[in-house]
Structure 1
Amino acid sequence: MNTVIVQPTGITPADVLAVSRGGARVEISDAAMEAMRTSRALVDDIERAGRPVYGVSTGFGALANTSIAPERRAELQHALIRSHAAGIGAPMPAEVVRAMILLRVRSLALGRSGVRPDVARALVDLLNAGITPWVPEHGSLGASGDLAPLAHCALVAMGEGWVLGKDGARVGAAEALHAAGLRPIELAAKEGLALINGTDGMLGMLLLALNDLCHLLTMADLTAALAIEAMLGTDRPFQPELHAIRPHPGQGVSAANIHRLLQDSQIMDSHRNDLVHAVQDAYSMRCAPQVAGAARDTVAFATEVAARELVSIVDNPVVLPDGRVESTGNFHGAPLGFACDFLAIAAAEVGAISERRVDRLLDVCRSRDLPPFLTPDAGVNSGLMIAQYTAAGIVAENRRLASPASVDSLPTSGMQEDHVSMGWAAARKLRTVLDNLTSLLAVELLASVRGLQLRAPLTPSPAGRVAVSMVEPFAGAPGPDVFLAPVLEKTRGLVAGPDLRAAVEAEVGPLR
């Protein structure tokens, strides 16, 4: 996708990914420009009439009852951006900031914010020029939306603040705009508030996380199947009729993936009728679809939340077509915070059950005749012993991160904002959980491949053969210990990237 066109009806998740990760250009449709002009005309009418309206002729938050003189209302908007750009800490990744800016353009283009089209165009210019504001990681409570992060973006459009330079260096916004041939925006009444009130940061991170987690859940089915095969497990619990009688949609999808991945395997056939091996496997093997499937159903719920938010007006106050300007609470991030917390719980459990399979693969008492820690010369060599330690440490961290942020409200703004969503924090920690899940699946992939290698001369499933062929070039065959960190790093790249999945699907057909 080379160009994303923002319509007055909104944008799609694919649009957000194209701009945030793919560098697509952004344009604003004529219809969206007209919607903004119509909305702005209503604000101009209010200004001329001298009516008291929050954010137009009054202060903000606890200062909402403070009247602002007409000649100082533009100053009010600039002061708002400067004071609210109060974040601190390391910068957020460029993909998050680009998603946030695009979603703010979307919000303005819906025509309920009362801004001039030039304001939305100034944000689009940042995206198209590759200028990424420096947005500190701390600052948002998900209260009136993502006030501080969005203020850091708006500040750059004003020619102030910082942007991300090459190699993460911090560059002055005025310098970056000048280099790109752009001029700072001058704000009018209501426009500063419209630039920062909303859930765009939370929503951007949720959309990115949903894309990542959908891929990781398919990879979790793959690593589970490889581990089950390596441990001489049975494929019988994954038969479709056993999941039709408990019709959770995600469970059925995961079971179908695992069942397909385990077919046409000499390793599986070698013990298919062996009562010792084939009667009933441990929960971490047999219940893989129930856990990963429940995570899939959580993704479905969160996807619905994100879809609704993409067509929502989350500004405050909103300018209605009949000329009324009404305060709302639509900026509150609870729907997104809950969804992010729920996803973090689900992803943490997918990682936890993966680590249990790794531990089983390495344990000579439970791995069904594999050597200790998957090394042929245990004692002198430790094999993957410490890789499992790493996985266990990550599981413990994910358990801490799975504690919900959205129940941790703290009052702000002189008790005017006395309940906040903490949705920004929920979304940030979700990103960490997914990064950790990627690492956990990498450990399982490496351990499973080692197990399959050690089952030679029996031939693994087509999926197993692909996995071995893609891991073996950098991991080698089972033998003397090697420096494991680079091996794990490359294995992690296979989990995160598209190549392993594509190669497996070329052999077994599409996975869901």
Structure 2
Amino acid sequence: MIRLTLRPGEVGLADWRALYRGAEVRLDPAARAAIAASAAAVARILAKGDPVYGINTGFGKLASVRIEACDLAALQRNIVLSHAAGVGEPTPVPIVRLMLGLKLASLAQGASGVQPQTMALLEALLAKGMTPVIPAQGSVGASGDLAPLAHMAAALIGIGEIFVGAQRKPAAQALAEAGLQSLVLGSKEGLALLNGTQFSTAHALAALFEAEVLFRSALVTGALSTEAAKGSDTPFDHRIHVLRRQPGQIEAADALRGLMAGSAIRASHLQGDARVQDPYCLRCQPQVMGAALDVLRQAAATLAFEANGVSDNPLIFPDTDEALSGGNFHAEPVAFAADMIALAVCEIGSLAERRIAMLVDPALSGLPAFLTPKPGLNSGFMIPQVTAAALVSENKQKAYPASVDSIPTSANQEDHVSMAAHGARRLLGMVENATAVIGIELLAAAQGCDFHAPLTSSPPLEAVRALVRSRVPHLTDDRHFHPDIAAALDMVRSGAVAQIAGGAALPGVVE
């Protein structure tokens, strides 16, 4: 089991990925001083008696309402209960764990005024495998991910539900059974827990991590499809791409050329090949996949900043005992990053579907129709290509930018919102769709290469073919196709395809 120490403001994307994948985590003890100083500053600010948003006033449109000292604890509890208004299915546990880690790292930077015991409880939930049940719908990605984070905060005060392993229990019961004390929120704490972009950011990060696996796998299946179609590797020549100067394009071309190096299939048609140029789905792989890589890396950079930032409001500055109200809760950077990921994922799947369509068309591929030795009697890969087309079309619809939408809330106090939560939540479904397309391409490309026997491809691609054939036999006559696709999807989703092809040599998104 991987064990991580979260150093607030300095957590790398690889560490966030490890937390998402199940790593144990603890907060760097060095953060305790900043946490204590921030909480003490809130007490001093309150003692002055001046109205300070979120500490002794109402919230949103009610910010002008002054709250008496005797009601401050009720104020913080009320904001949690009233804002826990989400709907929909529970957010997946790995994403909630990522949310908890992101919130822990944000609050630990000493700008939010929370108590040390609040931080200790967040840390304990992660350590004990306890994840609040958080309905997935209800955030517009501005003024923080209020509803989802309210459900997280409610669990800390013993309200709502908590997953303990696979069991769903009332929060108060789960905390008591774990030997944990529910919180009594201090001044500013309810607002600090609710404000922030951790729900949107966690979803976007999860999608980024899965999209990296998708991208690397698609490079491998794209190379295998090129082999199946006896395509040329000339378009992957390094000299072509350095003239374009696009970093991702150069790396994608180098990877594709490396994957095909040493192929006997390629060597067999260097002489006498009548085809002058391949279709764009083969020839332009570096340009499309390279652009996707660059976009994913830009999204990764944005999310790395967001994951290490503080998106609470108001922010506490202990050195001057000030509470400054701003708009760090607005999730526009996350919304843009989510839209970029969506575009990349959509195009990766779209290009792969075109390669599948090319392989099943004998006029384009030179292979038997629909990759079956007995077309007519058998349909072969006819309908898997249709499935891929359906998934690509679904992703096209989902890829429309979420960030261009806005809807006023809170009686027009919050009159422009980011829609980051919606933009980020759609991504894992898009990645899953594209993963299925890549899985279908994996089967089709392996089938196409089978027709070139006894010629073999390169060592990396032959290792991939061997992996496929260890679970899915060559298709001679039609059979129940769904189990084959499920097996291929699993090989792609798990990262096995990219890994066995020499994963270290393939470009990555997360450094």
Q: Distance in 1 between matches of 2:232 and 2:261?
A: 11
2:290 maps to 1:293: yes
How many angstroms does 1:384 deviate by? 1.1
Contact 2:72 2:187 in 1 (8 A): yes
Check the 8 A contact 1:453/1:468 in 2, yes or no: no
Secondary structure of 1:432's aligned partner = helix
Query: d(CA) in 2 for partners of 1:444 and 1:8?
Result: 42
Correspondences of 1:205-354 after superposition (within 5 Å): 205-277=203-275, 279-320=276-317, 321-354=319-352
User: Match for 2:158: what amino acid?
Assistant: G
Q: 2:87: which partner in 1?
A: 88
Counterparts of residues 4-403 of structure 1 (less than 5 Å): 4-26=4-26, 28-164=27-163, 167=166, 170-277=168-275, 279-320=276-317, 321-368=319-366, 370-403=367-400
Name the aligned partner's letter for residue 13 of structure 1.
L
1:470 alignment partner AA? L
Query: Which deviates more, 32-41 or 2-11?
Result: 2-11
Q: TM-score, normalised by structure 2?
A: 0.96
Once residues 62 and 75 of structure 2 are traced to their aligned partners in structure 1, the CA distance between those partners, rounded to angstroms, is 12
Partner residue of 1:452?
449
Deviation, 1:165, is 5.0
Q: Which moved more, 1:190-199 or 1:6-15?
A: 6-15
For residues 3 and 459 of structure 1, the distance between their equivalents in structure 2, rounded to whole angstroms, comes to 43
Which residue identity is paired with 1:156? A
Deviations 1:232-267 (A, max 9, x none): 100000000000110100001111111111121121
Greater alpha carbon shift after TM alignment, 51-60 vs 426-435: 426-435
Task: Write the letter of the residue equivalent to 1:473.
Answer: S
Q: How far did residue 460 of structure 1 move?
A: 1.9
Deviates more, 1:285-294 or 1:207-216: 207-216
* Cα distance in structure 1, aligned partners of 2:165 and 2:244: 52
SS in 2 for 1:457: coil
Query: How far apart, CA to CA, are the structure 1 residues paired with 2:11 and 2:73?
Result: 30
Task: Give, as a single letter, the amino acid of the residue that structure 1 aligns with 2:263.
Answer: S
1 CA distance for matches of 2:214 and 2:168?
Answer: 33
Distance in 2 between residues matched to 1:245 and 1:392, nearest whole Å:
34
Q: Which residue of 2 aligns with 1:478?
A: 475
The Cα shift of 1:120 comes to 1.2
Asked if the contact 1:197/1:316 (under 8 Å) is kept, the reply is yes
Letter of the structure 1 residue corresponding to residue 257 of structure 2: H
State how many pairs are aligned.
Answer: 506
Tell me, in whole angstroms, the C-alpha distance in 1 between the residues paired with 2:30 and 2:267.
62
1:246–1:130 Cα change, 3 Å: same
Measured in 1, the distance between the counterparts of 2:20 and 2:499 equals 23
Secondary structure (helix, strand or coil) at the match of 2:435 reads helix
- Match for residue 406 of structure 1? 403
Kept in 1: contact 2:130–2:165 (CA 8 A): no
- Tell me whether 407-416 or 459-468 shows the greater mean CA deviation: 459-468
Could you give the per-residue CA deviations for residues 318-345 of structure 1, whole angstroms, max 9, x where no partner exists?
Answer: 0113111110111100011011101101
Q: What is the CA–CA distance in structure 1 between the aligned matches of 2:8 and 2:461, rounded to whole Å?
A: 48
Asked if the contact 1:332–1:421 (Cα under 8 Å) also holds between the matched residues in 2, the reply is yes
The residue number in structure 1 matching 2:505 is 510
Deviation at 1:463, TM superposition (A): 2.5
C-alpha separation in 2, matches of 1:40 and 1:201: 24
Kindly indicate whether the alpha-carbon contact (under 8 Å) linking 2:371 and 2:380 is maintained by their aligned counterparts in 1: yes
Partner of 1:475, secondary structure, is coil
CA contact (8 A) 2:3 2:23 kept: no
Higher RCO (Cα < 8 Å, 6 or more apart):
2
Distance across 2 between alignment mates of 1:284 and 1:274: 23
Give the distance between the partners of 2:481 and 2:398, measured in 1 at CA: 26
How far off its partner does 1:203 sit?
Answer: 1.6
Give the secondary-structure state (helix, strand or coil) at the position aligned to 2:470: helix
What is the rounded CA distance, in whole Å, between the counterparts of 2:455 and 2:171 in structure 1? 62
Question: 1:440 aligns to what?
Answer: 437
Unpaired runs of 5+ in structure 2? none
Q: Distance in 1 between matches of 2:398 and 2:293?
A: 19
Q: Distance in 2 between matches of 1:6 and 1:255?
A: 36
- Given that 2:237 and 2:253 are in contact with CA atoms closer than 8 Å, whether structure 1 keeps it comes out as yes
What's the offset of the Cα at 1:8? Answer: 4.2
**Is the contact between residue 252 and residue 289 of structure 2 (CA under 8 Å) also seen in structure 1?**
yes
- Counterpart residue identity of residue 439, structure 2: A
Deviation at 1:204, TM superposition (A): 1.7
8 A Cα contact 2:34 2:108, kept in partner: yes
- Once the two structures are TM-superposed, the CA of residue 121 in structure 1 deviates from its matched residue by 1.2
Secondary structure of the residue that 2:219 maps to in structure 1?
helix
Contact 1:146 1:424 (8 Å CA) reproduced: yes
CA-based RMSD of the aligned residues comes to: 1.5
Q: CA deviation at 1:46?
A: 1.5
User: Quick check: 393-402 or 213-222, which moved more?
Assistant: 213-222
Q: Is the 2:9–2:308 contact (alpha carbons within 8 Å) kept by the matching residues of 1? A: yes
Deviates more, 1:221-230 or 1:268-277: 268-277
Structure-1 residue corresponding to 2:414: 417
Overall identity of the aligned pairs, in %: 42
CA distance in 2, matches of 1:244, 1:208: 32
Q: What is the letter of the counterpart of residue 224 of structure 2? A: L
Residue 115 of structure 1: SS of its match in structure 2? coil
Q: Secondary structure at the match of 1:89?
A: strand
Q: What are structure 1's unaligned runs of at least 5 residues? A: none
Structure 2 CA distance for partners of 1:281 and 1:149, relative to 1, 3 Å: same
Bigger Cα displacement from structure 2, 53-62 vs 461-470? 461-470
Q: Secondary structure at the match of 2:89?
A: strand
Deviations 1:271-291 (A, max 9, x none): 1122413x2101111001111
Normalized against structure 1, the TM-score is what?
Answer: 0.96
Please give the secondary structure, in 2, of the residue aligned with 1:53.
coil
Conserved in 2, the CA contact under 8 Å of 1:87 and 1:137?
yes
Q: How far is the alpha carbon of 1:214 from its aligned partner?
A: 2.1
SS at 2:5's partner residue? strand
Pairwise CA distance, 1:196: 1.1
